[in-house]
C-alpha cells in the first residue's frame, strides 16, 4: 500500500462533456507570494473576455476550497460569492457575456480559514464553466505565514 499526497491543486474537475473554454483570460495564474494570516483577506482580479462572435453563458463558478470565493464583476454589478461545492448554497452564475465583452473575476482568499494548520503553501483553483461544458480554470498560489 502506498500513501502519498499530490502536489497538484484539488478541486472541481473539468466537466465530463466539457473541454476548452471559449472564454479567454489575460492570465490564468496569480501568485500572492508570502502572505500573513494576521493581515487577513487577499484578493486578485482576473480579466476574462469573450473573443467569439457569439454570446457565452457562464453557468457556474466553483472554487476548490472553502477558503476561496469568487465574484463576477460586470457593468451591472457584482454576482457571488461563488465557492466550493458542498459548503452551502452556491448560486448559479447565469452570466451572459456577449461577443466582445469582458468581465472581471475577483478571487478572494482567506488565509485564516484553516486556522493554524493552514500555514505553508496553498494552491487553489477557480473553474468557470460555460453552458456548453467548456471550462476556463484560474489558479492562485500563496505561501501563508502566521
pLDDT given for residue 89 in this prediction: 85
Identify the structural domains of the chain with CATH numbers, from first to last: 27-145 (2.60.40.10)
The mean-pLDDT minimum among 7-16, 42-51, 100-109, 119-128 falls in 7-16
Question: Could you give the dihedral angle defined by the CA atoms of residues 125, 46, 128 and 52, in that order, rounded to the nearest 10 degrees?
Answer: -140
Q: What is the pTM of this model?
A: 0.86
pLDDT given for residue 19 in this prediction: 82
Separation between Cα atoms, residue 124 and residue 29, nearest integer Å? 10
Residue 27, pLDDT above cutoff 90: yes
Separation between Cα atoms, residue 97 and residue 58, nearest integer Å? 7
Q: What is the mean pLDDT of the chain?
A: 89
Average pLDDT over residues 101-127: 97
Residue 36, pLDDT above cutoff 60: yes
Amino acid at each position: 500500500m502506498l500513501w502519498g499526497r499530490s502536489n497538484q491543486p484539488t478541486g472541481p474537475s473539468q466537466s465530463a462533456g466539457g473541454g476548452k473554454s471559449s472564454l479567454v483570460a489575460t492570465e490564468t495564474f496569480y501568485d500572492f507570494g508570502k502572505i500573513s494570516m494576521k493581515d487577513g483577506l487577499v484578493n486578485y482580479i482576473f480579466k476574462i473576455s469573450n473573443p467569439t462572435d457569439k454570446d457565452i453563458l457562464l453557468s457556474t463558478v466553483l472554487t476548490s476550497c472553502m477558503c476561496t470565493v469568487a465574484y463576477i464583476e460586470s457593468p451591472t454589478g457584482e454576482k457571488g460569492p461563488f465557492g466550493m461545492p458542498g459548503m452551502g448554497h452556491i448560486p448559479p452564475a447565469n452570466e451572459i457575456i456577449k461577443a466582445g465583452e469582458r468581465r472581471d473575476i475577483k478571487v478572494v482568499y482567506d488565509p485564516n480559514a484553516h486556522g493554524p494548520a493552514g500555514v505553508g503553501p496553498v494552491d487553489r483553483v477557480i473553474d468557470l464553466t460555460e453552458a456548453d461544458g467548456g471550462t476556463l480554470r484560474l489558479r492562485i498560489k500563496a505561501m501563508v505565514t502566521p
